[in-house]
Amino acid sequence: MKAIVRESYGGPEAIELKEVSTGAPGVGEVLIDVMAASLNAADVHLLRGTPWPARLAFGLSKPKQPRLGADVAGRIAAVGAGVSEFSVGDRVFGDLSGAGFGAFAEQVVAPVNALTNVPEGVSYQHAAAAGMAAVTALQALRGKVPKVQLQPGARVLVTGASGGVGSFGVQLAKAYGAHVTAVTSTAKLAAVAGLGSDVVIDRQSTDFRSGNERYDLIIEAGGYGPVRTTLKLLNPGGRYVFVGGGGSQTTAALLLGKSMLAKPDRADLEEVARLLATGAVRPLVGASFALERAADAVRLLEGGGAVGKIVLQVGASSAAGAAAEAAPQQTSAIAV
């Protein structure tokens, strides 16, 4: 089978499409015929080997794991011993970042605890876009254990609202009854408004930090301003969560104890699936590439021009896969 691999750390130029052996599922695992996968910032960090401390886990001089890709959606081709949750032919999706990655391929072996069923009526493309980013947004909204939902009417600010985590953050907050202010760039205002935001701020023409509005929760999915200044926008008892942004901002958030590192969680993934099924959350997909053009997809992600998620169409996702799906939900996807 074909898979995207890299033998050394680097940029898109390090990516190759190669024939690799197909693994067999072990105890508690399944083999997935991949129909779609999606890109995350984490995939780029893994590709480039950044930040440097991460290489302690993934390989100092070269990557221990040559294959890439966390978000996956597809159909189960085989099940390993002890698997009762799924059967051959089931449509599943999930996040493989805690299970060895490898989603950018025609097939991948995955543990069942990293997966859940694709809801009826949800396309492979949308399911693939809703793994890591949606769970990250959900964990940012809920905060630390014990997990609690936002109170209806809570005022939420989301920066980087046109990105993967940000676009899910806006929709999830609205699904839980919050009043949402979204911050994005001029070119992406319409897309973000379409997510259901109550207020959309153009960061290129308006400094949202200078206003009088105060928030119960701030999710920095695009944190590129002074963290301490943004913290002043919180109501008493409010919460600030830094998910992603600039290097200096990331360091500042870490030092202040405001940075969050999401973890794959099957219960959270199932909550995302429930919201996908009801239509409360609809992934914002900005571009779609064939598997062999994964390098171009990475270039688009790194360039910052994408709106929402970037999806890789794999295998039979446009033919046999389409026949098994209901009509896809409305999306802004662009085939590139």
Amino acid 15: pLDDT:
95
Q: Is residue 251 part of a domain?
A: yes
316, 37 Cβ separation under 8 angstroms: no
Residue 267 has pLDDT above 80, yes or no: yes
- Dihedral, CA of residue 49, residue 50, residue 52 and residue 55, to nearest 10: -40
Q: Is residue 263 part of a domain?
A: no
155, 216 Cβ separation under 8 angstroms: yes
Q: Is residue 335 part of a domain?
A: no
In the β-sheet with 199-202, what is the strand arrangement from edge to edge? 199-202, 179-184, 155-159, 215-220, 234-242
Instruction: State pLDDT tens for residues 240-261.
Output: 999 988 889 989 999 999 998 8
Residues 6+ apart with CB under 8 A from 127: 36, 73, 91, 93, 118, 119, 276
- Specify the CATH number for the domain of residue 63: 3.90.180.10
Amino acid 53: pLDDT:
81
Six token digits for residue 264: 């794959």
- Residue 151 and residue 222 in one domain: yes
Task: List C-alpha distances in Å: 73 to 64, 87, 149, 300.
Answer: 24, 15, 27, 21
Residue 326 has pLDDT above 60, yes or no: no
Residue ending a domain, choose from 209, 240, 255: 255
Amino acid 144: pLDDT:
65
Amino acid 246: pLDDT:
87
Instruction: State pLDDT tens for residues 201-220.
Output: 999 999 999 989 999 999 99
- Residue 145 and residue 39 in one domain: no
- Residue 106 and residue 226 in one domain: no
Q: Is residue 278 part of a domain?
A: no
Return the H-helix or E-strand segment holding 135. Answer: helix 132-142
| 269-296 mean pLDDT | 96
Amino acid 216: pLDDT:
95
Instruction: State pLDDT tens for residues 101-135.
Output: 999 999 999 999 999 999 999 999 999 999 999 99
Helices (H), 161-262: 164-175, 189-193, 227-231, 247-255
Number of domains in the chain: 2
The band of 270, judged by pLDDT with boundaries at 50, 70 and 90, is: very high
- Residue 106 and residue 152 in one domain: no
- Residue 146 and residue 107 in one domain: no
Amino acid 30: pLDDT:
98
The three-class DSSP label of residue 165 is helix
Q: Is residue 225 part of a domain?
A: yes
In angstroms, the CA 66 to CA 101 distance is: 9
- Residue 229 and residue 293 in one domain: no
Mean pLDDT (the chain) is 90
Amino acid 316: pLDDT:
60
Amino acid 295: pLDDT:
97
| 165-190 mean pLDDT | 96
Residues 6+ apart with CB under 8 A from 305: none
Structure-model confidence comparison of residues 335 and 25, the more confident one: 25
- Residue 143 and residue 207 in one domain: yes
In angstroms, the CA 206 to CA 287 distance is: 28
Amino acid 116: pLDDT:
98
Q: Is 268 exposed, middle or buried (0-12, 13-18, 19+ CB in 10 A)?
A: buried
- Residue 184 and residue 98 in one domain: no
Domain residues for 250? 137-255
In angstroms, the CA 250 to CA 257 distance is: 10
- Residue 155 and residue 236 in one domain: yes
- Residue 68 and residue 116 in one domain: yes
- Residue 219 and residue 319 in one domain: no
Amino acid 147: pLDDT:
56
- Residue 81 and residue 162 in one domain: no
pTM flag (> 0.95): no
- Specify the CATH number for the domain of residue 232: 3.40.50.720
**167 backbone dihedrals φ, ψ, rounded to 5°:** -65, -35
- For 104-137, letters b (16+ CB in 10 Å) and e give bbbbbbbbbbbbbbbbeebbbbbbbbbbbbbbbb
Q: How far is CA 146 from the centre of its chain?
A: 23
The band of 149, judged by pLDDT with boundaries at 50, 70 and 90, is: low
What is the DSSP code string of 64-105?
A: S--B---EEEEEEEEE-TT--S--TT-EEEEE-TTTT---SB
Q: Is residue 99 part of a domain?
A: yes
Six token digits for residue 327: 């009509």
Amino acid 328: pLDDT:
34
Residue ending a domain, choose from 235, 255, 275: 255
SS3 content of the chain, % helix, strand, coil (to 5): 30, 25, 45
